Structures are given as structure tokens and as C-alpha cells.
């Protein structure tokens, strides 16, 4: 079990094994599906935690930093296969947990607009990714994530937008005009891209790069789909705030340019 998150390095053994072709696909496409990596007992605990967070916060994108007050989420984020997967795909023996986030699309919820994640995160100079677990079956009708293959290699920091309660786009963040790349209307140019989209079973995870352009389809099914996203960074990542963007995950303990190691972004070290 992990004790002091910041002052005593957490030394874990990485037992997660990945085929070289799988790692290579991830590096080329910027997103990959890993099947059946989380067992039912962990899933059952996480379902309870996720449902609790849904009761607490009534806004699609604002269910963040759940691990800080929830034991099952804390274990999953810091001492489970999730950080092992992150370290493997970041190809880094040291990672930091940036934050976690719950995404539940209920019947009738709209599509999640296309975006890439790093423009929303106070992170520069290092790789970052998401381990996105589903605790429900996800069909093409129930709001699966979609990814533009290879878009993580474009080096485009697309302009971040604000959202309304149901997760659809409201406007761009004020003051970000010209600082970021304009966000193309990817929806109208779907045929120009290779779009990856998988149906999923409980216990499957998606891994995707913080620069990969992605969104999610609307939920037109009768079933809710609950996803749990954990964001990790690799060695060398530093703190950098950009105005008002996603203030929920800013860290008052850090100054721009510092390494992320802190109580809010705990480092995790692996022996292999
Ligand atoms: O689940 C969703 O609707 C969106 C997820 C997402 O954009 C993310 O995890 O970065």
C-alpha cells in the first residue's frame, strides 16, 4: 500500500506486459484499446465510487480529482494496473498522476466535441496520456470515444473551449485567441481522417496520448455508459498555467517551470 505520496518515493514493480506491436500501434496512432485489464472486484468498487461522484457534481466535465477523497479511486490511480499501463506507454520509469475524471453519458447526452487534451492541462515539456476505463459495456450507440489516428504527431495545440453542463461546447476560453491553433470542424471533414472507435466491455481500457484529437459520440442508446479517465505525465513534464483554462486542476503549490512532483500530482516510480 502507498503511504506518503510526495516525500517517500512510491516504488512499484511494473508487471504489465505489452506486445511490441501493441506499443508500436499506440506510438503510430496515439490511441489503443486494451481488453480485460481490470478485474471485477476492482470494477465493482469503482462503480460505487463513480456513482457517488455523479451524485456530488452535476456537470459533465467537472467530476475531477475524485481520488483525493475516495479510497477505491486512489488505489486505482496510484497502485493498480493503471499506473503500470501509463508507465509502459509513456515509456518512463517515473510518472506523475495529474488527476482523474469521471465521464457518464446518459441516454440522450450529446456528443463530446473534438479536442486534444494537453491545451487544457497545466503541463509542458513532457509526454502525457490518459488511461480511460469503462465500467459498463459501450456500444457504438452508447457514446464511445473516437480518435483521429496520428493526430498526436501534428504538434497542434488546438484552442480549448468551455462547456455547458451536459458537456457540449459553449465557447472558447477568453483570452486564448491566437495563442492556440484554431480548432478545425473535424466533424465536417471526417472522411479526410482515419478515425478509431471501439466498442468496449467492462474492464477494457483505452490509452491515448494527451495530443491525440478525440471526442465521443452521442448516447442514443437506453443505457448509461460510465467511464473513468486517469491522466498521467512522463518524466520531465513541468508545470505551466495558462490563464483561466481548467482551473480545477491547477496546483497552487507549484510555480511555472517546476517539475510536477507534489501532493496533488504524486510521483510514482517503477523498478523496471
Ligand atoms: O467521455 C467523454 O465523453 C470524453 C472523454 C474525454 O474527452 C477525455 O477523457 O479526454
pLDDT tens per residue across span 130-142: 999 999 999 999 9
| C-alpha 146 – ligand 1 centre gap (Å) | 9
What cell does 15 get? 508487471
Cβ pair 245, 124 in contact under 8 A: no
| C-alpha 121 – ligand 1 centre gap (Å) | 14
Cβ pair 168, 110 in contact under 8 A: yes
pLDDT digits (tens, 9 = 90+) for 36-81: 999 999 999 999 999 998 888 777 777 899 999 999 999 999 999 9
Q: What's the CATH number where 81 sits? A: 2.60.120.620
Q: What is the pLDDT of residue 2?
A: 45
| Rounded Cα gap, residues 170 and 173, in angstroms | 9
Is there a domain that residue 5 lies in?
A: no
Is there a domain that residue 3 lies in?
A: no
Among 62, 112, 134, 152, which residue has the most ligand 1 atoms within 8 Å of its CB, making it the best to mutate? 112
The series of mean pLDDT values per 10 residues for the chain, 272 residues long, is 50 90 98 97 97 84 91 96 97 96 94 95 95 98 98 96 81 88 95 98 98 97 96 96 84 96 96 77
| C-alpha 116 – ligand 1 centre gap (Å) | 10
Is there a domain that residue 6 lies in?
A: no
| Rounded Cα gap, residues 189 and 191, in angstroms | 5
Q: What is the CA angle 205-206-211, rounded to 5?
A: 150
| C-alpha 267 – ligand 1 centre gap (Å) | 24
Is there a domain that residue 41 lies in?
A: yes
Across-strand partners of 227? Answer: 103, 134
Ligand 1 close to Cβ of residue 216 (< 6 A): yes
For 34, counting Cβ atoms within 10 Å of its Cβ (0-12 exposed, 13-18 middle, 19+ buried), the class is: buried
The atom of ligand 1 lying closest to the CA of 167 is: 3
Q: Report the domain count for the chain.
A: 1
Phi, psi of 223 (to 5 degrees): -110, 145
Q: What is the pLDDT of residue 9?
A: 58
Phi, psi of 98 (to 5 degrees): -90, -55
| Sign of the dihedral through C-alpha 41, 36, 30, 183 | negative
Q: What is the pLDDT of residue 13?
A: 86
Is there a domain that residue 269 lies in?
A: no
Specify the pTM.
0.94
Q: What is the pLDDT of residue 1?
A: 37
| Nearest C-alpha neighbor of 61 from the set 120, 148, 137, 143 | 120
Q: What is the pLDDT of residue 90?
A: 97
Is there a domain that residue 18 lies in?
A: no
Range of the domain at 76: 25-250
Is there a domain that residue 10 lies in?
A: no
Amino acid at each position: 500500500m502507498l503511504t506518503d505520496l510526495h516525500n517517500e518515493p512510491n516504488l512499484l514493480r511494473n508487471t504489465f506486459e505489452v506486445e511490441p506491436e501493441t506499443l508500436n500501434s499506440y506510438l503510430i496512432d496515439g490511441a489503443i484499446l486494451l481488453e480485460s485489464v481490470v478485474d471485477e472486484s476492482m470494477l465493482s468498487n469503482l462503480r460505487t465510487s463513480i456513482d457517488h461522484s455523479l451524485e456530488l457534481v452535476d456537470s459533465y466535465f467537472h467530476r475531477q480529482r475524485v481520488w483525493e477523497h475516495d479510497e477505491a479511486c486512489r488505489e486505482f490511480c496510484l497502485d493498480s494496473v493503471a499506473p503500470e499501463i501509463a508507465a509502459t506507454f509513456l515509456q518512463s520509469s517515473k510518472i506523475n498522476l495529474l488527476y482523474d475524471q469521471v465521464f457518464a453519458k446518459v441516454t440522450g447526452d450529446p456528443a463530446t466535441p473534438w479536442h486534444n487534451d494537453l491545451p487544457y492541462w497545466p503541463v509542458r515539456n513532457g509526454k502525457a496520456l490518459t488511461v480511460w476505463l469503462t465500467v459498463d459495456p459501450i456500444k457504438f450507440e452508447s457514446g464511445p470515444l473516437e480518435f483521429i489516428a496520428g493526430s498526436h504527431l501534428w504538434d497542434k495545440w488546438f484552442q480549448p473551449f468551455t462547456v455547458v453542463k451536459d458537456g457540449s461546447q459553449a465557447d472558447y476560453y477568453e483570452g486564448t485567441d491566437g495563442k492556440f491553433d484554431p480548432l478545425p470542424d473535424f466533424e465536417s471533414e471526417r472522411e479526410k481522417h482515419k478515425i478509431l472507435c471501439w466498442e468496449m466491455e467492462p474492464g477494457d481500457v483505452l490509452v491515448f496520448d494527451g495530443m491525440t484529437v478525440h471526442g465521443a459520440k452521442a448516447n442514443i442508446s437506453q443505457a448509461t455508459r460510465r467511464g473513468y479517465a486517469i491522466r498521467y505525465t512522463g518524466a520531465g513534464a513541468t508545470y505551466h498555467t495558462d490563464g483561466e483554462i481548467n482551473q480545477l486542476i491547477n496546483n497552487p503549490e507549484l510555480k511555472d517551470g517546476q517539475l510536477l512532483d507534489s501532493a496533488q500530482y504524486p510521483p510514482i516510480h517503477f523498478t523496471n
